[in-house]
Structure formats: structure tokens, C-alpha cells
Amino acid sequence: MRKHFIGIVLILWVGAIFGMAQPTQLQLTSQVNNGAALQDSSAEMPGKYNLASKPGELLRHPPAIENVSDKPNTVEVSLVAEPDRLSLLPGKLTDVYAYNGMVPGPTLEVTEGDKVTIRFKNNLPEETTVHWHGIKLPFAADGSPLHAVAPGEEYVYEYTILPGSAGTYWYHPHPHHRTAWQVGMGLYGAMIVHPKEDPLPNSISSKLILLSDNRFTEEGELDFPDPGTRQARMDEMNGREGDVLFVNDQIMPTIDIRKGETQRWRIINASGARIYRLALEGHTFWHIGSDGGLFEKPVEKQEIILSNGERAEILVQGTGQKDAEYVFQTLPYDRYMPHTRPKDWSETKDVLRVSYSKEKTTKLAQIPKTLRFVPPIDTVEATGTQTMLLSQGLINSKKMDLDRVDVTVPYGATEIWEVENLVGMDHPFHLHGFQFQLISRNGQPVTFRRWEDTINLPKREKARFIVHYDTYPGKWMYHCHILDHEDDGMMGILEVLQPNQQSTKMETQ
Ligand code: C2O
Ligand code: CU
């Protein structure tokens, strides 16, 4: 890591001296239209997206995807996945897969109640899908491996954003056995659902922090190990981690802050396998939201663990010193089996820098005491229990089979899921189609209600959550979100029957 980083700094330094020109063929001609709600610096540098920035440059947001509809409450966008050659590392070009010519893809910003249409074109040499992680939508729009889009084909994703689902989401491919590869090649992007009225004052500026990591060869190409090598076996076991950490498309960018200022950070873990333990030097912060949006009340935290696929919203307050710098870091987190722990697992890694201006202090804003009401799912309503036993590569001792339904439930039912990790490494568990409420971890009741679609199951731990199948029927995936594990078959299918369909639960269980 350190070595690699010094290498990058060297390239930058040499580049700066010789005035190294950035390749111009990467310039984007459209879609640098930034969403109103995300204030950032990329608006001032149209065409600069994916020109690898030097560490220390101001954080920029991926451009918002252009809405071509002029009808109210309607969002119509086009999304293309295709091979591209972009600059991810300063001074280097890399073969990638990109959405609309960018890594990460453009941000999809919508509002509750919007009717969303995404015209998707697959220009990749292989099949793919687009999965809208965490969004409640009709089965046909879920982009699961059951709706693969062949090379050259188009697919229209259509859904309405349900009330109450404001929050931070993301999108990524979900083809059978190929998700880790396609996400690793660059296919992932952020999605933000705004409420009709935000409980947080809009004097608070918003930052998007889309976290990912990747591994490169000396030449700057993406590094995927040859099958059968030691590295390939390590990646199968741990999931593929990279030593270069990206925030949006940048390495170690800077966020400017004024003393007293409050900022809202929307953080997404889009890494295929890395789990982040995030902390800001010299600061606590307010944890205000999870996968399915805001909590009822802010919670003060020193650090936060964000597993793969999970999102967090936090409020960072400028309580540091004027003119000083603080690093937002990922602290060591041991999610591994002892014999396959990567060498650098116990190192703290820098994610981004927070830089205080010399400007006059503003008065520290009051954080709202309540954010919104999170309606409880009543455990008294639960009519069934699903037990999910996670072992290495398997759920309930089975590997994924696209032609098999693992669990069948009637539409409208409420159930408790008991998920238990039987092995000595973490497995983050994700359910499609619904948001659920955690009840307990290892028998300890959870202290407050929140909406989740992904929870980490640390080594040999158990969690219980409650879910109401109240939105759409269909076949919904549940799986480990370490993408190599998912691809290897650590996934199953929950079928929620049509409202008028007879339950076949008796026969299948
Ligand atoms: Cu983020 Cu089934 O995936
Ligand atoms: Cu796993």
C-alpha cells in the first residue's frame, strides 16, 4: 500500500514538473448537469470527470444522470454499460467497464413519488443486469440474475419510488457468477432518493462518498488473478480487495469545512469485499441514517462499521481547529479467517482529508433532535420464521440454483428471519425487494428502529430481523454481499407469491 502510494505521488510529481497533459479523449460532452441537492465542485470543471485527480484535490461528485423528461414527477434516463479506457490512476489509462463513460457511473437522483424509467443498453461483450440495491420495486425491474440482459440488448427498468423510501442507495450489475468481475471492472454508481420535504435544513451541504477499492498492475491495468494462483484462492476466500482506495473517482480527495459548519455525508460501501471501519481524527459525528433512510434520532458515534452494500448517513460538525487538517480513515477490522488475513489488514488506511479554512467561524448549528417517524413492524404480526445458516460459500448448506426457489411465502405476510453465521469470517447479508428492521444481535435487543437491506454478520454471530412482504410479489435474492461469495453461490431465492396465489409453503418446506 505504502509503496504503491509513493509510486503514485512520484508519478504526480514528475507529471507536474513536465506539465503532463491529461488525455482529452476522455472528456464527457454531456451529463455534467449536477443534481441540485448535492453541492460540489465538479460543476466548475465540466469534462474533467475521470481525469484522475491528484491526492489532495477537492472532492468532486459523479455527475448526475440527465433526466430527459419534462413531465413532473417523472425521471427518464439512459444508461449504457460498455468497455472503455479511462484514467483511474494519475497519468495512466486503464481498460474498464463504464456506465455512460464514467467510473463510477453517474448519480441517479430522484424524489419519492417519482415514476422512474431507465433505458438500459448492454454494450458489454457479456450479459449483465442493473440492480437497484435497496429500492422497493417490481420484480421485473430488480435486475437480478433472473433478468439477464444479453450483449447488444436493451432493457427498460420501470418503477415508482415509494413514499417513505428517501435515502442513499446504489446500483450495480448482478449477472450470475460475474458480479465481482463486473463491479471490479468499474460498474457501480450512486442513487439518491430525496423526500418531498427534507427534515434537515438545506443550509447543511451534502457530500456523496462512494467508497470502492481496486487493484492494479504495474502498467495501470486492473489486476485480476489468473485462476488457480494463490491470489485467486485468496480472493475466493476473502473476496477481492484492492490496495487503492477510491472516493467517487478520486484517491484521497479533500473536503473543505469551516469551523462550526455542519455537513451531511452520504456514504456507500461499493467495495466488492472490503469492510470499512470509518472514523474521523479528532471528531465524533452524528449517525443519522442507514440503508433505508433516516433514523428517528441522531446518534453520536466515534466510528462506524460499513459492510459491503451498506450505506450510512452522518452529520459531520466543524468542531476542529481553524486551518487544521484531519483524516477520515478506515481503521483495522478483522473480518478474516486467520490463515487468509491479508498482510496489511491491521493497517489504518486514509480515505479522505478534511481541511479547515482560515475563514471566520460560523456558529455550530443545532442538530435536529428528531428526524422522522420510523413505523414499527410489530413482532406480534409475525406468522413465520426463516432460518438462514451461513457457512463458507453456502446458505442452509446449499449453493445458488437459479431454477430453485428456496423459500415461498404468501404475499402480505410478516416474518422473522434468524440469520446465523456459522464460520470464522464475516458475511454481510442482503435481501432484495424489502427493507427490514433488526430486532436483535446475539440475543441482545437492538436499541432503536431503523430500515436496513444489508447487515453484517460478524464471525459466528446471529441476528434476527423482521420483514413485511407488503410491496411487490416475485422472486427475490438473498445473499452474502462479498461479491466473490455471491458469485460462488452464497445466495438463495425467496418467492413472495402473487396476492391471490395459494401458498405452497407446506410442500416446499
Ligand atoms: Cu447489492 Cu443482490 O445486491
Ligand atoms: Cu460471504
Give the pLDDT score at 365: 82
Torsion angle of the four alpha carbons 340, 489, 412, 420, in this order, in degrees rounded to the nearest 10: -30
The atom number, within ligand 1, closest to the CA of 308 reads 1
Q: How many angstroms separate the alpha carbon of residue 211 from the centre of ligand 2? A: 19
Which residue positions in the chain have pLDDT lower than 70? Answer: 1-53, 502-509
- 109 and 248: one domain? yes
- 280 and 387: one domain? no
- 403 and 491: one domain? yes
Q: How many angstroms separate the alpha carbon of residue 257 from the centre of ligand 2? A: 37
Q: Which residue in the block uniquely carries the three cell numbers 459492510?
A: 307
Residue 171 counted as domain residue: yes
CA distances 98 to 82, 186, 187, 194, Å, are: 6, 6, 6, 25
Q: Where are the alpha helices (DSSP H) in 72-212?
A: 179-184
Residue 371 counted as domain residue: no
Nearest ligand, measured from the Cα of 238: 2
- 134 and 193: one domain? yes
Q: Which residue in the block uniquely carries the three cell numbers 438545506?
A: 202
Of 477, 486, 463, the C-alpha closest to 389 is 463
Nearest-CA residue for ligand 1 atom 3 is 133
CA distance 421 to 349: 27
Give the CATH number, domain containing residue 317. 2.60.40.420
Residue 170 counted as domain residue: yes
Domain boundary, last residue among 336, 366, 396: 366
Nearest-CA residue for ligand 1 atom 1 is 133
234 CB-near residues (< 8 Å, 6+ apart): 340, 342
CA distance 295 to 402: 35
What is the C-alpha end-to-end distance of the chain, expressed in Å? 49
Give the pLDDT score at 36: 35
- 216 and 194: one domain? yes
Q: How many angstroms separate the alpha carbon of residue 267 from the centre of ligand 1? A: 17
Do 491 and 340 touch, CB atoms closer than 8 A?
A: no
Q: How many domains does the chain have?
A: 2
- 352 and 398: one domain? no
- 442 and 475: one domain? yes
Domain boundary, last residue among 308, 342, 366: 366
Tell me the pLDDT tens digit for each residue of 363-382. Answer: 888 899 999 999 999 999 99
Give the pLDDT score at 362: 83
Residue 300 counted as domain residue: yes
Do 90 and 52 touch, CB atoms closer than 8 A?
A: yes
DSSP helix/strand/coil, 183 = helix
- 359 and 395: one domain? no
- 423 and 306: one domain? no
What residues does the ion ligand 2 have nearby, CB within 5 Å?
A: 427, 480, 482, 485
Residue 141 counted as domain residue: yes
Residues with CB under 6 A from ligand 1: 131, 133, 172, 174, 309, 430, 432, 477, 479, 481
Do 191 and 169 touch, CB atoms closer than 8 A?
A: yes
Query: Cα–Cα–Cα angle for 284, 287, 288, nearest 5°?
Result: 145
Residue 415 counted as domain residue: yes
- 314 and 397: one domain? no
Q: What are phi and psi of 180, to 5 degrees?
A: -60, -45
Torsion angle of the four alpha carbons 170, 172, 177, 180, in this order, in degrees rounded to the nearest 10: -80
The atom number, within ligand 1, closest to the CA of 486 reads 2
Q: Domain range holding 427? A: 379-508
Domain boundary, last residue among 317, 343, 366: 366
CA distance 221 to 214: 10
Residue 372 counted as domain residue: no
The atom number, within ligand 1, closest to the CA of 134 reads 1
- 249 and 147: one domain? yes
Give the pLDDT score at 366: 85
- 119 and 264: one domain? yes
Do 221 and 95 touch, CB atoms closer than 8 A?
A: yes
Residue 215 counted as domain residue: yes
DSSP secondary structure of 116-146: EEEEEEE-SSS-B--EEET----GGGS--GG
